Structure formats: C-alpha cells, structure tokens
Amino acid sequence: MQQSRTQSCQKRIEDIHKFYMQIAIEEALKGKGWTSPNPIVGSVIVRDGKILSRGYHALAGQAHAEIEAMRHLPSLSDASSATLYVTLEPCSTDGQTPPCTQAIIDARIARVIYGATDPNPKHQGQAEKTLEHAGIEVITGVLSKECEELNTYWNYRIRTQLPWVIAKCAMTLDGRISSLPTQRWITSKESRLDAMRLRASVEAILVGGGTIRDDDPALTVRGLTKKWKPCIQPWRVVWSRSGNIPSKAQVRIDEFQERTILVVGKSLPLTIRDLGARGISSVLIEGGGRTLGEAFDHDLVNEIRFYVAPCFLGGPIAAVGAIGLPGGRALNNLSYRLIGDDLVISALVER
C-alpha cells in the first residue's frame, strides 16, 4: 500500500513538471523564426503552484529565456525558493550574453528543471554540474522529446556543423520537372501553398544558377496567413559554377536582395558546409535537377519532400539528375498525402 501511495505521489509530481514544461514550450514557440542562429527557448518561474513569470528568447544577441523570465518577476526576491522551468539546458559559458547559470545562482533560484540537454559536447551537462555545485536542485529530461523537437535543425547543426538539408521538387509521374506546354506549373495551387509553408520553415533556400537563368524565381515566401508567414525572409542561395547570373534576376534586385548569397565556383558540399559555418541550420534545395542530383550524389540530403502531379511529360530534364550513390539510400519515416490530385511524399534519408 505504501509503495502504491509513493508511486501515485511520484506520478503526480511528474505530471506537474510536465504541465509547467508544456507552458515553457509554448513560450519558446513565440520566438520561432526570430532567433537564428540561436535556438528557440522558453521558460517559466513557479512558486507554491503559481506561475510568477514567463520568458522566451526573442532575438539572437538578446537575453535568453531564463533571464527574460527573471526580468518579469514582480520582485527579484520572488526568485528565492522558486522553481525555474526551461526547455533547453541553461548556458554555462560566456557568449553574446553572460552565462545563464550564474544569473540563476545569483537570483537564488531553488530548483531548475530543463527538458533538452545542450547538444554541444563542450557544454553538454555542464549546467547541471554548475548548479548542483551551488546547491541548486536540478531535474532533467522533462518532456525531453518535445523540447528537442523545438530545435531539430539547430541540434543537427550543433552536432555536425552542417545544416539540415531538405530536397524538394515538383514533378510529373515520369519524373520530369519541365513546365507543361500550356502552363508554368506542374502541381496544383494547393500543393504550391504547401511548398510555401515548407519554405517558411527553413533558414535558406538554394537553387542552381541554371534555375535562375531559366525561370527567374523570386524564392520568397508568399500567400501565407500570419500563422505560417516567417518573421524573416529565408536566405536565397544561388549556387553557380560559372557565376553567369543575370543582373536583373529577381533575387538580385528585389526588396530582399540583401538576403541573397551568390556562390561561384565552389563544390556543393563546400557550399553547404559554409552555410553551416554562417549559422544557417536548415537549407531547402529546390533545384534544378542537376543541383538536386549533386546533392544526392554527395550524400548531403537529410529529408525529401516530393510533389508528384498526375500527368506524364517526357523530355530530357529529370527531377534528380544524379549519377547515383553506390547501393543507393533507403528512406525512413515515409508519409504520403493527397493534396487535391497531387501526391506528396515526405521522408527522411537514411544516412
């Protein structure tokens, strides 16, 4: 009986921690689209079952979520004996801002509960050691999966120094990507809107120079409601061997021209690595077929999103003009959706 009561009590405590961590997750999402190259992070401070304050990381270079939550306390003395919930392990080293661990210690927070551990091996687990050494109770791993998923792309870049790469194309049933004879678009308006949401979720969109010369795309995010529209236009990366990009191409003269990166004469793997070094955590490769082929040939792709229209076209331009990897690559986590008459295939590439 006593064991049953103990387990019931423990379950109730765990549920309370999950409840407040979920609120911290909701805070973190307020910074989505604003914090690159930093992660999104949310925090709440609780005492005696009451939320005293909330905070989130709003912009790179500005205060972290924990500091924002402490700033919003009615009084700094309220931090004493309180519990701080935060979605990501507090930073323990100097960066653009001082370490959050020291601020937590100075505020005399009694307990820190965080969801995801910092993926950087240099920092991983250091907050727990620092805070416990100062006499602060630390609990980790609360809603860890949900907290990690807040920053999937950022986590990958921190671990590998590379951005997460998504290969996207719109093609016919016979795998061709040329425009139809009577219209520019292969897929439906609904599919193109879905692709815009995909653009809105990444930090950079990459195409080859041939795509700019042939189609002159704007590579902007358009037609979305406020819910989906990104706070910052994704970088537009033009990868070109020749550098022969028309001076009047939209990406060079429109209102977002300062968000255009022209890469000339570099290999695609080096280009992707350079984007990671810039702090870019996600890249959507939209084509053309040769560029997508290079990405697959060099094993750069982490994820695919292919929109397949119910028609045949023929012609020489394949969706993926790859030489091919020995043995190919398997796909995991496959999902299939119908958008109108189009089939949308999403999957992770086995690496």
- Report the catalytic residues: 66
| Residue whose structure tokens are 């809603």 | 143
The answer to whether the beta carbons of residues 283 and 206 sit under 8 Å apart is yes
Residue 267 DSSP class: -
Residue 6's region, left for phi above 0, alpha for psi from -120 to 50, else beta, is alpha
The answer to whether the beta carbons of residues 241 and 266 sit under 8 Å apart is no
Strand-pair partners of 336 = 345
Strand-pair partners of 335 = 346
Residue 107's region, left for phi above 0, alpha for psi from -120 to 50, else beta, is alpha
At 40, list the tokens: 């999104």
Cα separations in angstroms, 7 against 2, 4, 13, 15, 141: 9, 5, 10, 12, 19
Give the Cα-Cα-Cα angle 214, 220, 225 (nearest 5 degrees): 140
Q: Using CA of residue 190, residue 193, residue 199, residue 200, what is the dihedral sign?
A: negative
